[in-house]
Amino acid sequence: GENVEQHPSTLSVQEGDSAVIKCTYSDSASNYFPWYKQELGKGPQLIIDIRSNVGEKKDQRIAVTLNKTAKHFSLHITETQPEDSAVYFCAAGEWDNDMRFGAGTRLTVKP
């Protein structure tokens, strides 16, 4: 089955700096890689996803890159703001099989 590892587990940055979270996966059959943001007391919310036929995707200050050969993908947040502070989860898999999540990264953006 799929195994997803996520690093770092905690990340602290100054407001305005960039934040990068990295994930690796093991199952080469995985073709869907979403990222979720979980704010305190809430369920995870999808913020961006990427499919295996795409190497990079951007949405305003958020970007995700995928390297299928190396089996890793990353979340990049530029110009971080305090409201970006949350726990971020990566995931890999397909929705007709179980989606495996990383252990999460707690991002703190200091004003």
Partner 1 sequence: NAGVMQNPRHLVRRRGQEARLRCSPMKGHSHVYWYRQLPEEGLKFMVYLQKENIIDESGMPKERFSAEFPKEGPSILRIQQVVRGDSAAYFCASSTGTANTEAFFGQGTRLTVV
Residues binding partner 1 (CB under 8 A) = 1, 6, 31-32, 34, 36, 41-46, 49, 51, 89, 91, 94-104
| Contact of 5 with 23, CB cutoff 8 Å | yes
Q: Least distance in Å: CB of 42 to partner 1? A: 6
Q: Least distance in Å: CB of 61 to partner 1? A: 20
Report which secondary-structure segment, H or E, holds 18: none
Q: Least distance in Å: CB of 80 to partner 1? A: 22
Query: How far is Cα 65 from Cα 55, in angstroms, rounded to an integer?
Result: 6
User: What type of residue sits at position 40?
Assistant: L
